[in-house]
Amino acid sequence: MIPDGELLKHLHQAAHINSNSPKVPTWKTRETPEYSEDKYNFPFCTKVPTVTPSISWGKDLGGLRKTILKRRSTREYTGEPIALKELLAVLDFTYQPHHYINQDLDRNPDYFDLSLIETFIAVSGVDDLEEGCYYYAPVAQELRQIRFKNFRQELHFLCLGQELGRDAAVVLFHTADLKKAVVKYGDRAYRYLHADAGHLGQKLNLAAIYLNLGVSGIGGFFDDRVNEVLGIPLDEAVLYISTLGAI
């Protein structure tokens, strides 16, 4: 039993990092070896290139500044499809920061270690893109289809019955192999992974708002059902869900 008022101290002690430990984190960039290839490569799957013109934020990043002020979480989608070019633009801004250095954005944002985070996308309504689940390969810049089906009903359930999961055109999942992360960095890796997933989620949000799409993060879900719908191993733990759709 932990006495009243001692819980925070207990949590800090349980996740303590020794300053002399080889597991003390070091910041990663896109130039580190961990980013040399994508984790999953499914043989014979449908592969959709995601290379697309980058979002132009305008002079002195004026468009980005205005978007930050407009940033909101959508509470309702129409259920209508979105354009493939819109999805690709959102992915480009979120996962390809080096495409934006000519607009004076940081080539290597301050992430902890993105080599530990994977992105899966359930597509329910994107013009010119088959319904189903995809793995997003940021190094190869392509979507790799892993399941063929409309999963609206399952998405509705796994998002705790929230209509956002059912009516969104796209539901994005950030996952991580926790066992691998803890072996590499210690118990606190769980905190850092959530911070990185949140960072990615906010970039998704900004790009979507700029493109006049609806967007919302979801933190409540049935973990195991996510793995079942996506068809991924149970050791890929879900960190965060983002939804995109027409409003």
- Report the distance separating Cα 2 and Cα 13, nearest Å: 13
59: number of Cβ within 10 Å: 8
Residue type, 33: P
6 vs 2, 9, 188, CA distance in Å? Answer: 6, 5, 19
| The pLDDT value given to residue 1 | 84
Bridge partners for 237 per DSSP: 176
Q: What secondary structure does DSSP assign to 166-228, as a single string?
A: HH-SEEEEEEEEHHHHHHHH-TTHHHHHHHHHHHHHHHHHHHHHHTT-EEEEE----HHHHHH
| The pLDDT value given to residue 19 | 61
Low-confidence residues in the chain, pLDDT < 70:
17-35
| The pLDDT value given to residue 194 | 93
pTM of the model: 0.87
What digits encode the pLDDT tens for the residues 141-172? 999 999 999 999 999 999 999 999 999 999 99
| The pLDDT value given to residue 27 | 60
- Report the distance separating Cα 94 and Cα 201, nearest Å: 8
| The pLDDT value given to residue 109 | 84
Q: Is 7 exposed, middle or buried (0-12, 13-18, 19+ CB in 10 A)?
A: exposed
CATH architecture designation of domain 38-245: 3-Layer(aba) Sandwich (3.40)
| The pLDDT value given to residue 13 | 78
| The pLDDT value given to residue 174 | 96
